[in-house]
Structure 1
Amino acid sequence: MTDTLEIFAVTPPGLEAALLPEFRALGYKDARYGAGGVTMMGDWPDVWRLNLELRGATKVLARIGTFRAMSLAGLDHRADEFPWDETFYSGTTVRVEATCKRSKIYHAGAAIERVERALLKAGMKPSADGEVTLKIRIEQNIVTLSVDTSGESLHKRGHKEAIGKAPMRENMAALFLRQAGYDGSEPVLDPMCGSGTFLIEAAEIAEGLQAGRSRSFAFEALASFDEAAFKALRRSVSVINGPARCFGSDRDAGTIKGAIANADRAGVSALCDFQCKPVSDVDRPDGPAGLVIVNPPYGGRIGDKKQLFALYASLGTTLKDRFSGWRVAMVTSEPGLAKATGLPLTQGPAVPHGGLKVWLFQSPPLK
Structure 2
Amino acid sequence: MTKTKDFEIFLAAPPGLEAVLCEEVRGKGFKQPKAVPGGVVTKGGWPEVWRANLWIRGAGRVLARVDAFHVTHLAQLDDRARRVPWASVLRPDVPFRVEASCAKSRIYHSGAAAERITKAIQQTLGAPLAEEGGILVRARIENDLCTISVDTSGEGLHKRGYKEAINAAPMRETMAALFLRQCGYIGTEPVLDPMCGSGTFVIEAAEIAARLNPGRSRPFAFEQLASFDDAAWQQMRAVNSQRPPAARCYGSDRDAGAVAMSLANAARAGVTDTTEFHQAAISEIQPPAGPPGLVIVNPPYGTRIGDKSKLAPLYRALGQTLTSRFSGWRVGLVASDPKLAHATGLPFLAPGAPVPHGGLRVTLFQTGPLA
Using the size of structure 2 for normalisation, the TM-score is 0.96
Deviation at 1:238, TM superposition (A): 9.2
In structure 2, the partner of 1:361 is 365
Provide the C-alpha distance between the structure 2 equivalents of 1:244 and 1:62, rounded to a whole number of angstroms: 37
The DSSP-based 3-state class of the residue aligned with 2:41 is strand
The equivalent of 1:129 in structure 2 is: 132
Alignment partners' CA distance in 2, 1:243 and 1:29: 29
Deviation at 1:237, TM superposition (A): 5.7
Q: State the alpha-carbon separation in 2 of the partners of residues 325 and 239 from structure 1.
A: 29
CA distance in 1, matches of 2:280, 2:28: 39
Partner of 1:108: 110
Code of the residue aligned with 1:96 in structure 2: it is: V
2:323 to 295, 320, 323: 320
Code of the residue aligned with 2:36 in structure 1: it is G
Is 1:32 aligned to 2:26, yes or no? Answer: no
Other-structure match for 1:185? 188
> Superposition RMSD on alpha carbons, in Å?
1.5
Question: Counterpart of 1:360 in 2: which secondary structure?
Answer: strand
Cα gap change, 1:287 to 1:151, in 2 (>3 Å): same
**What fraction of aligned residue pairs are identical, expressed as a percent?**
57
**83 and 37 in structure 1: CA distance in 2 versus 1, 3 angstrom threshold:** same
Post-superposition CA distance 1:61-102 (Å, at most 9, x none) = 000011122211111111223221111111221110001112
Q: How do 1:216-295 residues align onto structure 2 when only pairs under 5 Å count?
A: 216-235=219-238, 245-295=248-298
Contact 1:119 1:125 in 2 (8 A): no
Equivalent pair of 2:67/2:149 in contact (CA under 8 Å): yes
Could you say which residue in structure 1 is the equivalent of 2:9? 7
**Whole-angstrom CA distance in 2 between matches of 1:359 and 1:159:** 27
Code of the residue aligned with 1:355 in structure 2: it is G
Per the alignment, residue 351 of structure 1 pairs with 355
Cα shift at 1:127? 2.1
* Aligned-partner residue type, residue 367 of structure 2: S
Structure 1 portions without partners, runs of 5+? none
Q: 2:52 is matched with which residue?
A: 50
Contact 2:183 2:332 in 1 (8 A): yes
2:144 maps to 141
Question: Could you say which residue in structure 1 is the equivalent of 2:336?
Answer: 333
Match of 1:172 in 2: 175
Long gaps (5+) in structure 2: none
Distance 1:254 1:130, change over 3 A: closer
TM-score by length of 1: 0.97
Contact 2:96–2:130 (8 Å) recurs in 1: yes
CA contact (8 A) 1:69 1:142 kept: yes
Partner residue in 1 for 2:66: 64
Deviating above 3 A after TM superposition, structure 1's stretches of 4 or more consecutive aligned residues are 235-244
**Secondary structure of the equivalent of 2:217?**
coil
Moved more, 173-182 or 65-74: 65-74
Aligned length: 367
Q: Which moved more, 1:45-54 or 1:94-103?
A: 94-103
Residue type matched to 2:218 in 1? R
Q: Which amino acid aligns with 1:205?
A: I
CA distance in 2, matches of 1:191, 1:6: 41
Match of 2:179, as an amino acid? Answer: F
